[in-house]
Amino acid sequence: MSSKAVIELPPDLVARIDARVASGASSDPVAAIREGLTALDSEDAKRLEAIRRKIASALADPSPSVPAAVAFDRVTDYLKSLPRE
């Protein structure tokens, strides 16, 4: 089932969609948007899976836990070491 939605896009996005259609990379503007959303969904799924793997690895790690205060201090120190814009 489809429904009609009218959206206003900035000129740069319209140009990118039109370029994909003109090049044949997408069959029409709707396909270009659908493909873009599909790519975003795929990237989100990859990130989520990577997070799940890291959590599973951390939970399976037999090393002793770090006290919360120490962990927060380490995170704070790390964040302070990052360059600021």
* pLDDT tens readout for residues 25-71: 999 999 999 999 999 999 999 999 999 999 999 999 998 888 999 99
Question: CA 30, 36, 37: angle at the middle one, nearest 5?
Answer: 90
Q: Which amino acid is at 38?
A: T
The pLDDT value recorded for residue 2 is 80
The pLDDT value recorded for residue 49 is 98
Question: What residues have CB less than 8 Å from 29, skipping those under 6 apart?
Answer: 17, 18, 21
pLDDT at position 1 over 80: no
- Taking the CA atoms of 19, 25, 29 and 32 in sequence, report the sign of the dihedral they define: negative
